[in-house]
Amino acid sequence: MAVICVGQSVYDIVIPYDTALVENQKYRVTRRLECGGGPALNAAYLCAVWGEQTYLVSRIGEDDYGKKIKRILLEAGVHLEYLVERDNIETPYSIILSNSDNGSRTIFNFPGEVQDKHYEYPALDVDVILSDGHLPKLSIQAIRRYPAALSVLDAGTCRESTMEVAPHVDYIVCSEDFARQYTGKAVDLEKPELCREIFGQIKEINKRHAVITLGEKGLLYEADGELKHLPAYPAKAVDTSGAGDIFHGAFAFGLAKNLPLLSILKLSSMASSISVESLGGQTSIPALDLVEDKLKERER
Ligand SMILES: OC[C@H]1O[C@H](O)[C@H](O)[C@@H]1O
C-alpha cells in the first residue's frame, strides 16, 4: 500500500532575521538553512519518515539543487522512480526570509518550468493521492488510475491549476486564503452563519469533504452534518514555512492509516504546530512519536 504525492519539489534557502527590515539597507546574514521544500516534497518527506511507502511524482532539473533534493529524499526513503529529472529545466527554488520574532515568512519562489505531461503510473496498491495542485493533469490522471485511493487536494491558493484538480478529489483541505479568494468572504469564527456559508461553498466544489485551515486559529471541519471548530495547539512560532505542507502530509498519512477524521485532524494540527517552533519546512517535520506523545499529553 502506498501514498502518492503529486506536485512541486523546491530547494529552499531560509534566512532568519529578527529586526524590522528597512528598504535600501544592507543586512549581514550570519545564518542560513538549506533544505528540501515545496508542498509535495514536504508532504512526501513526512509520509516516508513516518513509515509509509511513499512515491513523489514531481519534476526537477539535472542541476545542483536537483541533486541536493534527490539526496534529501533518498535519505528519507521516498521512492523516486516517478521523480522526473530533465537537463533542460531549472529546479524550482525559494528564498525564504523568516522573521524569528513571530514566525511569519516572506517567500520568493522561482517556479522553474513546470511540465505537466502524460505519465504512465505504476501498478501499485495506492491508499492515498495527495496533490498540491501544481501538476493538475498528472494529479487527475493519478486519481483516475487509482479509483480505490482516497484523494486530497492541498489548496493553498486559488490558482487555475488548483481549481482544475478540486472537483476530482475526496477531500479539499484549503487554507483560509483559498477560502477567501474563492468565496470572496473571510472566515470569522465569531460569525457561525458566515462560516457555514463559506464552508458550504467550498464543499460544493467537489461535493464531498472539506477542511478549512486557519493557522493559529485552528481549523473548520464537518462531523455528523455539522460544522465544527478545532482550535490549534499552542506554539511559539519561529518559522511557519512549510507548516501547511506538514499538515497535509500528516493528513494523507492519517487517511492511509484509516484513522477517524478527528484523529487525523489532531495529528495534522499537532505536527504542524510543532514544526513552526524550528527553522525550515522539511527540516522541521517532527518525528511521529513526538507528535503522538504530545497529543497524549494534551488528552490527559
Ligand atoms: O509551502 C511552502 C513551501 O513552498 C514554498 O515554495 C517553499 O519552497 C516552501 O518549502
> Where are the extended beta strands (E) located within the chain?
2-6, 10-17, 33-37, 54-61, 83-86, 93-99, 105-110, 126-131, 150-155, 171-175, 209-213, 219-223, 226-230
- Eight-state DSSP code of residue 188: -
Q: Tell whether 296 is covered by a domain.
A: no
What CATH number should be reported for the domain holding residue 169? Answer: 3.40.1190.20
Q: Tell whether 232 is covered by a domain.
A: yes
Q: Whose alpha carbon is nearest atom 5 of ligand 1?
A: 38
Stretch (H or E) spanning 287: none
Q: Tell whether 295 is covered by a domain.
A: no
**CA-CA distance, 271 to 54, in Å (whole number)?**
18
- ipTM confidence: 0.94
pLDDT tens digit sequence for 194-239: 999 999 999 999 999 999 999 999 999 999 999 999 999 999 999 9
Containing structural domain, residue 283: 2-19+31-289
Q: Tell whether 26 is covered by a domain.
A: no
Q: Whose alpha carbon is nearest atom 3 of ligand 1?
A: 38
Q: Whose alpha carbon is nearest atom 2 of ligand 1?
A: 242
Is 174:155 a contact under the CB 8 Å cutoff? yes
pLDDT tens digit sequence for 82-122: 998 887 889 999 999 999 999 899 999 998 876 667 667 87
Q: Tell whether 83 is covered by a domain.
A: yes
Scanning the structure block, which residue is given the C-alpha cell 458550504? 200
- pTM of structure: 0.96
Q: Tell whether 25 is covered by a domain.
A: no
**Which one of 8, 11, 12, 13 would you pick to mutate in the ligand 1 pocket, going by the greatest count of ligand atoms within 8 A of its CB?**
12
Tally the domains of the chain: 1
